Amino acid sequence: MDKRQKDLDLRIQRIGYVAQTLNRGIEFVLVIDGELKIETRNRIYQLKEKDLLIINRNELFEMQGNKQNSVLRFTISDTYMDPFYDEYRNSRFECFSGDIDMGREVLLDQLRLFFGEMVITYFRNDETYAIEMQRLVSEILLILIRRFKEEGSVFEKINTEDERLIQIVDYLEKNYQELITLDEIAEKMYVSTGYLSRYFKQEMGMGFSRFLMNIRLKHSVKDLLYTSDSISHIAMKNGFPNTKSFANFFKEVYGETPKTYRDQHVEGKVDTLEELQMEDVDLLINSKEIFSKLGSLLSEKNNTYSNTESRHEELHLDTSTSIKEKISRPDHVLIIHELKEILREDVREQVLTVKDELRLNFIGVRNLVSNTTFLPTVETDELIATSSPYFTADLALNFLKKHDLSIFSRVAYQDISMDEEAYFLKLHGFLQHCLLMYGESYVSKWHILYYEPYYSAVDGKELKRIYDRLYSTLKKIVPRIQIGVYIPFSIEKEITNDHHAWLLQDADHIDFIGYHANQNEAIDFDENRNDRFLLAKDFIKEKTTKLKNYLKQLNIEKPLHLTTWNTLSGNTRYTNGTFFRGALVMKNVLEVSKDVQSLGFWINTELHEVGDQHHRIQMEGMELFHYFKGKRPAYHALAFAEKLSGHIIAQGEDHIMTEYEGGYQLVLMNCNNINPYFSIEDAFLRQLNKDIRVTISNLSPGEYQVRKYIFDKDNGALYKHWGNLSSIHGVDLEVTEYINRLSHPSMEIFDETIIGDWSFYSYLSINAIHFFDIRKTYNKTFS
């Protein structure tokens, strides 16, 4: 480094031996090639190619490597750090690639990438050199501080500018095995014993004897991990007066006995470094081989990591405290608008995909006896008619029955009242035909929902009269058919409106109750006030709970069907094209699954939007497919909910864990309900990202294969790929098929040996889902 970067020291070396040194500042060690062994107070690290280790300030270390290695060493001094980071001297950074927790590999890839760029910047040394170096150092430090920081120990807090203090610590580090007294050190420093005692405690925050015991303890840990020496031998070797004092102090600091610690953390026998008389280090400059190796770091595919202000959370799960709750699986209703739509090849393809992958019970249609479904009656002189008004309906019903799909039909008051007599005549004839063609057992599974919206001006008595006639007509023809009513319900007033109060007094003639739960109901999109948008949080769960309690108070216990619902999205076309909501969908599905008998979904955007020409954009349903057959976030979110198996052993607001015969499953979510007008600003969204450290206790010891599925705005969402591949000249079938192939959740696989607590990290962007399938293997088990 030149004078502009005097507090930063970058070098590439071939390391044979580096004598014991007290580190000043933070040192990064990246092995470019070969092998390197580093010994600190309490651990021996064995580094191979691409391994990265951080050595903290005031850490005692020495290095020994083979003859062919090449090592990047980068040191940042205390004087560089102090002005920028107040907590520097109270912190330490735990980062070794050899035992990094699962989920943090991307951070190490990013650090390697920065160091590769740093070397190139250093040797290029052009006019922007200093600025580039400052940028890279800042990027590295942000990752270090935000992702690897821990509370500093007494060693990190030593004042390295105090030469007397450094001399004392250096003497203790080199002679800790010997009998050392405060009087002896005072004599060496030419001060009184009393003064030294006060001075040491003031500077170190602890007494002299306690600090010496800490040094001895750090070195004894290394012997526990890497040797087979007895506990008593380790105690005596490291300067403790006896085994009992060693064991007592060890348990005070580590919370367990030396034997227990060794059993749980043993690394296997590793020889300590052989102390050599002379250092053996060569400086490697402008080596073609080095640049070739560094080039491989830069050319590898790295998952980029953004240093943003995200939330940090800790999640502790204990498999031994299982709540043993079964996973609730409500029926699924797929709404296709009208029955005739099932004759379309693309709709049939989507229906069968949903049935195979997501489980499907009902096809939802509007107005079962619509004129668009039935053929018009024509006059004929044939003795036996060769045409049937039910020809189109039969084609649709044959398909549905073949695939064990029942009808869930919404019958609106308006559909009946336009020509009441004609309607019931048509309904009677159609049902008689269906009984003949498909049998009573099939038609009895159908659900008919009588519907009139909450803003209806129709008198309650008139609504009840039509319903009673519908009920009696259907039950006479098909006694076991299910007939229900839609109930408008105000979440604020916790009642229904006057026009629908009649249904609460006639519950004996109601088989089920349908309702809507749309977060957009709570929002006035003409306002921008953020507090209004916050009302949408937990709206679906809250409305469901309040409706259940309302009905219970009236002694009405009927199955609930959530026919249409939505997450807060606003007018997607105009306010939030970047807003991803996968986790919101899954969370809502999991939250209401125990309370409802069915959940409704629209099949695709096209049919949903043509279903009501009065709305510019429909806001009352979850579509599973887009115009061009791509799977929308609701599809993948529902797929993850269906993938859960076994029984629930832990559940919280943003997570659920299950245990099944083959292992465990864990779902992590980062749910954020936000003002969609804000969601067009990507910088704002990034501030809602979440970095979570998960610790799972009491997993069965053994070998596991961990499959991690990531579903977020970059993995599985359509909009990003659609935006990247859009053109002012339009897109064709080839482009849309390519987008659909890209738009799937990603998968990573890890092999994990689990003994004791298992920890890993997950970095979730806004409304992301991370699904972990933790599968037991039978190659090896541990007792």
SS3 of 179-235 = CCCHHHHHHHHCCCHHHHHHHHHHHHCCCHHHHHHHHHHHHHHHHHHHCCCCHHHHH
Task: Summarize pLDDT for 712-757 with one digit per residue, the tens.
Answer: 988 988 777 777 777 777 777 888 888 888 889 999 999 999 988 9
3-state secondary structure of 364: strand
Task: Summarize pLDDT for 1-35 with one digit per residue, the tens.
Answer: 444 467 899 988 889 888 878 888 899 999 998 99
Q: Which two tokens stand for residue 177?
A: 């095995």
Characterize the bridge pairing of strands 280-283 and 362-366.
unpaired
How high is the pLDDT of residue 529? 58
Count of CB atoms situated within 10 Å of the CB of 125? 11
User: What is the 3-state secondary structure of 535-553?
Assistant: HHCCHHHHHHHHHHHHHHH
Residue 606 in this model has a pLDDT that exceeds 80: no
Place of tokens 């293997």: 777
pTM exceeding 0.85: no
Which one, of 437, 522, 453, 518, lies nearest residue 486 by Cα? 453
Rounded Cα distance, 612 and 552, in Å = 34
How high is the pLDDT of residue 38? 92
Phi, psi dihedrals of residue 695, rounded to the nearest 5°: -125, 125
**Helices 258-265 and 208-226 meet at what angle, rounded to 10?**
40
Rounded Cα distance, 310 and 256, in Å = 34
Task: Summarize pLDDT for 29-79 with one digit per residue, the tens.
Answer: 999 989 999 988 878 899 999 999 999 988 888 898 887 888 999 999 988
**CATH 1.10.10.60 residue window(s) in the chain:** 163-265
Beta strands in 594-717 (DSSP E): 598-604, 623-625, 647-652, 655-660, 663-669, 690-697, 702-711
SS3 of the chain: helix, strand, coil, percent, to 5: 40, 25, 35
How high is the pLDDT of residue 692? 92
CA-to-CA dists, residue 534 to 494, 523, 529, 539, 674, angstroms: 19, 9, 9, 10, 7
337 φ/ψ sector (left φ>0, alpha ψ -120 to 50, else beta): left
Rounded Cα distance, 779 and 468, in Å = 65
How high is the pLDDT of residue 618? 47
Place of tokens 């804000």: 678
CA-to-CA dists, residue 608 to 118, 341, 452, 602, 620, angstroms: 53, 12, 19, 6, 9
* Residues listed for the chain: 783
| pLDDT, mean over the chain | 83
How high is the pLDDT of residue 615? 44
Which long-range contacts does 166-169 make (Cβ < 8 Å, 24+ apart)? 166/22, 168/200, 169/22, 169/58
Characterize the bridge pairing of strands 746-754 and 311-318.
unpaired
Rounded Cα distance, 407 and 445, in Å = 8
Rounded mean pLDDT of 133-155?
86
Rounded Cα distance, 47 and 96, in Å = 9
How high is the pLDDT of residue 617? 42
Place of tokens 């030469």: 163
Characterize the bridge pairing of strands 447-451 and 482-486.
parallel
Rounded mean pLDDT of 259-275?
70
How high is the pLDDT of residue 124? 74
Could you tell me which residues come within 8 angstroms of residue 409 by beta carbon, excluding any fewer than 6 positions away? 364, 365, 366, 367, 368, 446, 447, 448, 449
Q: Which two tokens stand for residue 474?
A: 């259907």
3.30.465.10, 3.40.50.150, 2.60.120.10, 3.90.550.10: CATH of 3-156+283-299: 2.60.120.10
How high is the pLDDT of residue 684? 56
Residue 613 in this model has a pLDDT that exceeds 60: no
How high is the pLDDT of residue 5? 60
Q: Which two tokens stand for residue 244?
A: 């009992």
Phi, psi dihedrals of residue 669, rounded to the nearest 5°: -130, 150
Beta strands in 474-550 (DSSP E): 482-486, 512-518
3.40.50.1100, 3.30.930.10, 3.20.20.80, 3.40.190.10: CATH of 327-644: 3.20.20.80
How high is the pLDDT of residue 404? 97
CB crowding 316-331: b at 16 or more within 10 Å, else e: ebeeeeeeeeebeebb
Residue 781 in this model has a pLDDT that exceeds 70: no
Fold assignment, 163-265: Arc Repressor Mutant, subunit A (1.10.10)
How high is the pLDDT of residue 783? 45
CA-to-CA dists, residue 139 to 51, 90, 94, 112, 625, angstroms: 19, 21, 17, 12, 40
Task: Summarize pLDDT for 568-601 with one digit per residue, the tens.
Answer: 754 444 444 457 889 999 999 999 999 999 999 9
Q: CA gyration radius for the chain?
A: 35
Whether 638 and 769 have beta carbons less than 8 Å apart is answered as no
Residue 640 in this model has a pLDDT that exceeds 90: yes
**CATH 3.20.20.80 residue window(s) in the chain:** 327-644
Q: Which two tokens stand for residue 551?
A: 């009905």
Whether 500 and 488 have beta carbons less than 8 Å apart is answered as yes
Rounded Cα distance, 515 and 454, in Å = 11
Characterize the bridge pairing of strands 26-33 and 70-76.
antiparallel
How high is the pLDDT of residue 75? 94
3-state secondary structure of 30: strand
**CATH 2.60.120.10 residue window(s) in the chain:** 3-156+283-299
Q: Which two tokens stand for residue 745?
A: 């959740």
Lowest mean pLDDT segment, chosen from 254-263, 375-384, 470-479, 677-686? 375-384
Task: Summarize pLDDT for 482-531 with one digit per residue, the tens.
Answer: 999 999 998 888 888 888 888 888 788 999 999 999 877 777 656 655 56
Whether 235 and 243 have beta carbons less than 8 Å apart is answered as yes
Rounded mean pLDDT of 547-574?
82
Rounded Cα distance, 562 and 591, in Å = 12
The residue with greater pLDDT, 251 or 449, is 449
What is residue 628's DSSP assignment?
T
How high is the pLDDT of residue 560? 97
Whether 329 and 708 have beta carbons less than 8 Å apart is answered as no
